[in-house]
Amino acid sequence: MKNILTIILIAFTMGLSAQNYIEHTVEPGETIQTIAKQYLVTPHDIYALNPDAKRKFQPNTVLIIPNSKVKNDDIVEDRRELIGYKNHKVRRKETLYGLAQEHNVSEEEIKKANRFLYSENLKKGDKIRIPRYRTVVSKQTLSNTIKKYTVQPKEGKWRIAYKFGISVSELEALNPFMNETIQPGDELNVPNIKDQEEKAIDTTFSYYEVLPKEGFYRLKVKLNLTQEQLEQLNPELKETGLKAGMVLKVPESVDTLGSLTTVETTNLRSSLTNFKTKKLALMMPYRLDRIDVDAVEETKNKIKEDRRLSVVLDFHVGVMMALDSAKQLGISTDLKVLDTRYHVSATSELLDDNDFSDYDAVIGPMEEKSFNRVALALRSDNVPVIAAMNKPKEVYSNVFQTIPEEKLLRKAMIDFVKTDSLKTRVVIISDRAHKTTSEALQKEFPNSKLILSRMDKKDKTKDAHFIYHADLQNVFAAGKTYVFLETDNNAFVSSVISMLNGLVIEKTEIILATTDKNRAFEGKDIDNNNLSNLKFHYPSIHKDFDETKANGFVNAYREEYGVSPSKYVSRGFDITLDLLMRLASAEDLYGASLETIETEYVENKFRYNKDLFGGYVNQAVYVVKFDDLRIVNAN
């Protein structure tokens, strides 16, 4: 019997060799996903040869891994190799930065070679070692069970992932050098399945990527589709079940954004379990190179005159106060503050001189190009980069965009009005530039009345930005009427508000609203008393803190500085405290940013949704209103 088993084993092994397979012994901590990435195959390839691995996967298990049917191109890698040191005696006026530039090394590399420089400044007469490196170019040929696929017009990551039956993350793992936004003609690695096994893309349908921990119940709430309906559209679900990252076909009419008002606020204090010290970097344009610390009055004047610097310093104060608040909850932070100087080259130097690979998150930079540079540089290490004060041009997979998209603000305002059962009428007043937007708004409220601004009598192509009183006659009756005002013209806003105030009489309630509260609704021509009379409603990324309620942060700030905190101080506090609370409630920020988690602090709230094409975008917005000359949260 033993001899028979030996013969079978030898035959099986020979069969593997002939078919070009290899064996892998599972190490502790490994997963199917990490093993697949190591050999540049897909989990599907491994499960096909190891069906038992689905139910029994543990260390020392021997897996059969398919070797390549096609070859990848050579991967060229540059790396720096230390070859020795050069002794140097520091001369007068020499700096660490200057030596680093002169010898083509980083300041950090010099410090590593001279440990005393971590605690002491470089001075004349110091004898130091300057490391010498050489660049080594290596080529590595990887073999796998993939094939090359040329991206077709109108194809994005999700379409290709759907076509080949993998998740977007698996597609990214197969293509580590793929651009965030792929273009027609790009060549990608995809599973080497038969052409007839590829799924056809139907342009009359939409597609949705399943998020971590999403089950059929959650999808029913979000997409209004039952398990049976999803399985009918995606038959493979009956065999595989729901898996995070898989792309599902859904009807085109399905709103994949889901409701913005169904998630209750989460109190993370009861979920704090990870008390390891958090490593954060704060990258802001302090521009310290322009400040003379010996000229106190001149520095004060610069801060007053430089609006950008004032905002940065306010945000910084909020960050530091958040660190103190987190410390009281047992969360310690190792914070590194870095000056980007509002310049891409300075930001690049910071990336060269610092190792961020073990950081929990990086906040900033503010400027778009510098932010993109940082996000791209840290993407390979999966380090979260927080867009705190700006909307990034590209939301890469490691980016957390804290400012919600305009379409979410618009949706929040529309949903708010729709849920008001007491409304009797909706009126839309718009200038010509916002005609398309207002017509779309009218479709949301089919029985609404649309009033467009008048054209100039002399120049029929020019908007005169006014309406007649007669346009509003017989429009308002007893009960509540919402009036959407869609414009960015200050004079038009002023005249319409004045007319609407004159129409408010007993039993007639007019509520002014807009989907885009821009600067046209501010300024000396706009009377806040009129806005309060009309209970002006608008969507916002933040709200004012409630003066009627006790607030430890606000009280502490007033006690320290004698004034109330600005919105930038509050934003620095809210973003940083939320970041630390999330990091302390999970293994990393990604695990703590499920779309079911919505947090709220002083003036801001956060609910992140994984974007189908990239990173995480905040979907939590407010609808606020004017009430007795105060701006409060509209319930």
Domain architecture of the chain: domains with CATH = 75-140 (3.10.350.10), 146-251 (3.10.350.10), 268-404+559-618 (3.40.50.2300), 407-540 (3.40.50)
The two structure tokens encoding residue 362? 């990086």
pLDDT digits (tens, 9 = 90+) for 549-568: 778 899 999 999 999 999 99
Query: How far is the C-alpha of 484 from the C-alpha of 513, rounded, in Å?
Result: 5
Helix, strand, coil % over all residues of the chain, rounded to 5: 35, 20, 40
Q: Rounded to an integer, what distance in angstroms lies between the CA atom of residue 569 and that of residue 311?
A: 8
pLDDT at 305 over 90: no
Q: Return the axis-axis angle of helices 307-328 and 552-561, rounded to nearest 10°.
A: 120
Residue 524 sits at the vertex; the CA angle it makes with 523 and 529, to the nearest 5 degrees, is: 95
Q: Count CB neighbours of 626 within 10 A.
A: 21
Higher pLDDT, 279 or 633: 279
pLDDT at 9: 40
Is the model's pLDDT at 4 over the cut of 60? no
pLDDT at 601: 94
Q: 366, 285 in Cβ contact below 8 A? A: yes
* CB-based contacts of 414, cutoff 8 Å, min separation 6: 441, 444, 515
Listed in order, strand segments (DSSP E) in 445-595 are 449-452, 479-486, 508-513, 537-540
Tell me the CA distances in angstroms from 135 to 81, 319, 353, 560, 600, one per residue in order: 6, 40, 18, 53, 49
516 phi/psi in degrees, rounded to 5: -140, 95
Report the candidate in 479, 429, 620 with the shortest Cα–Cα distance to residue 540.
620
- Omega of the bond leading into 539 within 30 degrees of 0 (cis): no
pTM > 0.85: yes or no: no
Determine contact, residues 468/460, Cβ cutoff 8 Å.
no
Q: Mapped to the 3 state alphabet, what secondary structure does 576-620 carry? A: HHHHHHHHCCCCCCCCCCCCCCEEECCCEEECEEECCCCCEEECC
Both tokens assigned to 231:
């399985």
Position with higher pLDDT, 130 vs 37: 130
- What's the distance, Cα to Cα, between the start and end of the chain in Å? 78
* pLDDT at residue 255 in the model: 63
How far apart CA 81 and CA 418 sit, in angstroms, is 64
**149-158, 301-310, 569-578: the lowest-pLDDT one:** 301-310
Residue 258 has what DSSP assignment?
Answer: -
Cβ count near 211 (within 10 Å): 16
The CA dihedral of 287, 291, 296, 300, to the nearest 10 degrees, is -40
Check residues 170 and 518 and name the one with the higher pLDDT: 518
Non-local (6+) Cβ contacts of 192 within 8 A are: 69, 70, 145, 146, 147
The mean per-residue pLDDT over the stretch 348-371 comes to: 94
CA distances in angstroms from 223 to 203, 210, 257, listed in the order given:
19, 11, 8
Rounded to whole angstroms, the Cα distance separating 629 from 536 reads 10
Backbone torsions φ then ψ of 40, nearest 5 degrees: 55, 45
Please check the confidence at residue 231 and state whether its pLDDT lies above 70.
yes
Mean pLDDT of 35-50: 75
Residues recorded for the chain = 635
Average pLDDT in the 101-129 region? Answer: 89
Handedness of CA 333, 339, 342, 347 (dihedral sign): negative
> What pLDDT score was predicted for residue 137?
64
Kindly state the tokens that stand for 350: 């910071």
